[in-house]
């Protein structure tokens, strides 16, 4: 049984596995999922057991994952009768792990804020023998939605994983709603191959990476496919300013990832949101008197850019 969300004991809140990954790599927070305890997101179920009745994580820290991250039961995890997270398929095959089934209906552009619960004075954190918390009246009031899939996410990797892992099921992607800012569409229409970026502005653009150039002040990601305009092909690229990376809260993991990508021989894909590459005239290297056209954009928010492997995306 795969969990779309779990209750974090240290944050006293329900998180998606993408929230957990984001927190793990964030150098401005002390969060470490290996030191946290994740419990059943069903409030009634959680209240019925001790805090030692934990779930485990899959791909919570793996920088370059291929299989969908998630929470799952340990062999000893127990649930109350009727809990939707009780495993009804004992020994279910690994294939159920291979796609993201919880589709957030909205991608929020501002980061989620967490209010860390302060430990009791004199105790170092939460003792495992603490009595389980009983659901508060507040969480009872919103119970119908609170133990199910979080409907919104601010972690870009989540909608991207929905798209990538379900790429073989176009009907599903066409049926799943996605809202970003004021724009409401479906997963299928929100994700746009870079070669078709002229179709519409403000979408999530993606494409296979041809090359990543490491310059003094920036990285440039070149896409394999070209944009056609007036029967002429134009290259597409995005620039990542190194100052932006230096100030990024996930700087370490981002640098590790992009440096590995520069030298990678494996097919890599780039997804980005927030900017739409536009036609620009740039001077030719060989002959600076001449210019040539290229569709280019400067990435403004590294939270809204992903470089990853995506098997099955273009078969
Ligand atoms: Zn449960």
Could you read off the pLDDT of 109-122 as tens digits, one per residue? Answer: 999 988 765 554 44
Q: How far is the CA of 6 from the centre of ligand 1 (A)?
A: 10
> How many domains would you assign to the chain?
2
CATH at 196: 2.40.50
Looking at the structure, tell me whether residues 223 and 96 fall in a common domain: no
Query: What is the number of residues in the chain?
Result: 315
Looking at residue 119, what is its pLDDT? Answer: 52
Looking at the structure, tell me whether residues 103 and 226 fall in a common domain: no
Looking at the structure, tell me whether residues 89 and 206 fall in a common domain: no
Q: How far is the CA of 147 from the centre of ligand 1 (A)?
A: 9
Looking at the structure, tell me whether residues 132 and 207 fall in a common domain: no
Q: Which long-range contacts (CB under 8 A, 24 or more apart) does 129-138 make?
A: 129/50, 130/51, 131/50, 132/46, 132/47, 132/48, 132/49, 132/50, 132/51, 133/46, 133/47, 134/47, 135/43, 135/44, 135/46, 135/47
Could you read off the pLDDT of 97-110 as tens digits, one per residue? Answer: 679 999 999 999 99
Looking at the structure, tell me whether residues 40 and 104 fall in a common domain: yes
Looking at the structure, tell me whether residues 151 and 281 fall in a common domain: no
Looking at the structure, tell me whether residues 151 and 203 fall in a common domain: no
Looking at the structure, tell me whether residues 145 and 271 fall in a common domain: no
Q: How far is the CA of 67 from the centre of ligand 1 (A)?
A: 24
Q: How far is the CA of 87 from the centre of ligand 1 (A)?
A: 9
Enclosing domain of residue 72: 2-155
The verdict on residue 160 lying in a domain is no
Please determine, for residue 166, whether its predicted confidence score (pLDDT) is greater than 80: yes
The verdict on residue 84 lying in a domain is yes
The verdict on residue 254 lying in a domain is yes
Looking at residue 285, what is its pLDDT? Answer: 83
The verdict on residue 182 lying in a domain is no
Q: Which residues surround ligand 1, an ion (CB under 5 A)?
A: 40, 42, 45, 79, 83, 85
Alpha helices in 87-142 (DSSP H): 137-141
């Amino acid at each position: 049984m795969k969990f779309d969300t779990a209750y974090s004991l240290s944050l006293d809140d329900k998180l998606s596995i993408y929230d957990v990954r984001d927190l793990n790599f964030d150098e401005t927070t002390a969060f470490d999922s290996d030191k946290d305890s994740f419990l059943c997101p069903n409030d009634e179920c959680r209240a019925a057991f001790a805090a030692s009745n934990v779930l485990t994580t899959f791909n919570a820290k793996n920088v370059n994952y291929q299989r969908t991250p998630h929470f799952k039961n340990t062999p000893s995890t127990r649930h109350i009768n009727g809990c939707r997270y009780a495993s009804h398929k004992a020994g279910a095959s690994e294939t159920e792990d291979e796609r993201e089934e919880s589709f957030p209906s909205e991608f929020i552009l501002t980061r989620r804020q967490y209010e860390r619960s302060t430990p009791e004075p004199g105790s170092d954190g939460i003792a495992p023998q603490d009595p389980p918390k009983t659901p508060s009246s507040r969480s009872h009031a919103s119970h119908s939605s609170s133990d199910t899939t979080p409907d919104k996410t601010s972690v870009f990797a989540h909608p991207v994983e929905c798209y990538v892992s379900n790429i073989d099921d176009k009907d599903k992607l066409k049926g799943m709603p996605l809202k970003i800012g004021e724009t409401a569409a479906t997963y299928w229409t929100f994700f746009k191959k870079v070669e078709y970026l002229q179709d519409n502005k403000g979408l999530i653009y993606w494409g296979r990476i041809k090359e990543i150039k490491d310059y003094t002040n920036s990285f440039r990601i070149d896409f394999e496919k070209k944009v056609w305009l007036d029967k002429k092909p134009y290259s597409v690229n995005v620039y990542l300013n190194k100052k932006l990376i230096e100030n990024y809260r996930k700087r370490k993991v981002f640098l590790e990832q992009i440096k590995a990508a520069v030298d990678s021989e494996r097919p890599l894909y780039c997804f980005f949101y927030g900017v739409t590459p536009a036609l620009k005239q740039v001077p030719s290297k060989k002959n600076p008197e001449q210019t040539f056209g290229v569709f280019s954009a400067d990435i403004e928010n590294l939270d809204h850019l992903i470089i990853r492997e995506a098997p099955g995306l273009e078969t």
